[in-house]
Amino acid sequence: MIDALRTVIKRQHYPLEVMMTCVRWYAAYPLSLRHVEEMMAERGVFVDHSTVSRWAIRILPVLEKIFRKYKRPVGGSWRMDETYVKVNGKWKYLYRAV
């Protein structure tokens, strides 16, 4: 699968680290393409938001296939726990799923 990623990113004008950083920020955080463009410009890398969009469209499906095999299965049974705790002098509910 790494070869599939190499085919997607070949003939690109930017280094792999720049491309992967932009795509990771765009996919992992609630950032717009223009925010990613601005953040990269602050770091001295000038890339257009439409370029980041094209990278995301091309790279994200390949990364999803690569990481799918490492994804851990989630069981069908979940347990909820609820307790009442004191936080800063006020009683609050605390929930957790196990």
Q: What is the residue-level pLDDT of the chain in tens, covering all 98 positions?
A: 577 777 777 777 888 889 999 999 999 999 999 999 999 999 999 999 999 999 999 999 998 988 888 888 877 788 889 999 999 999 999 998 87
Q: Which domain holds residue 63?
A: 1-98
Structurally, how many domains does the chain consist of? 1
Rounded distance, CA 60 to CA 47, Å? 18
CB 25 within 8 A of CB 31: yes
H or E element at residue 85 = strand 80-87
Give the contacts of 83 (CB within 8 A, at least 6 positions apart). Answer: 93, 94
Predicted TM-score (pTM) of this structure: 0.67
CA angle 83, 87, 93 (to 5 degrees): 25
